[in-house]
Amino acid sequence: MKVNIRYTVDLEEVLDEMSNLYYKSLDRLETKLDIYDHFLNEGFSEADLEHIIQALEQNIQFYHDHQTKISEILSILRGYKSIREGNVEQQQPQRQPAPQPQVSDDV
C-alpha cells in the first residue's frame, strides 16, 4: 500500500531534493532488480521457466514504480523551471482563517 506524502522545501533546495529523490528511487530499482537477476543472467531454461516469468513480471512492476517516481520529479522540475523563469508566481503559504466565535441562541 502506498500513501501520498506532501511537504514543502525552500525554492533553493528543490534541485537537491529532486536529485536525492531520483537517486533514492534508482538505488531502490537496482536493489529490486538484483533479487531476480540470477534467473535472467544465465539464459532462459525450461527448468526455470516459471521463475523467469515471475522475475520478468516483477521487473515490469519495479520499472513502473521507478518511472512513476521519475514522472513526479519531472513534473516538479518543470514547475521549478517555470518559477525560475518568472512564468509562475510563487505561492505564498496559506494562512488559516481565525476561528469565529460561536453565537448561541440559548438563553
Q: Can you give the pLDDT at residue 29?
A: 97
**Chain Cα centroid distance, residue 56:** 22
Q: Can you give the pLDDT at residue 107?
A: 46
User: DSSP for the chain?
Assistant: ----------GGGHHHHHHHHHHHHHHHHHHHHHHHHHHHHS---GGGHHHHHHHHHHHHHHHHHHHHHHHHHHHHHHHHHHHHTTSSPPPPPPPPPPPPPP-----
pTM: predicted TM-score of the whole model, two decimal places: 0.72
Mean pLDDT by 10 residues, the chain (107 residues): 82 96 97 89 89 94 97 96 82 63 55
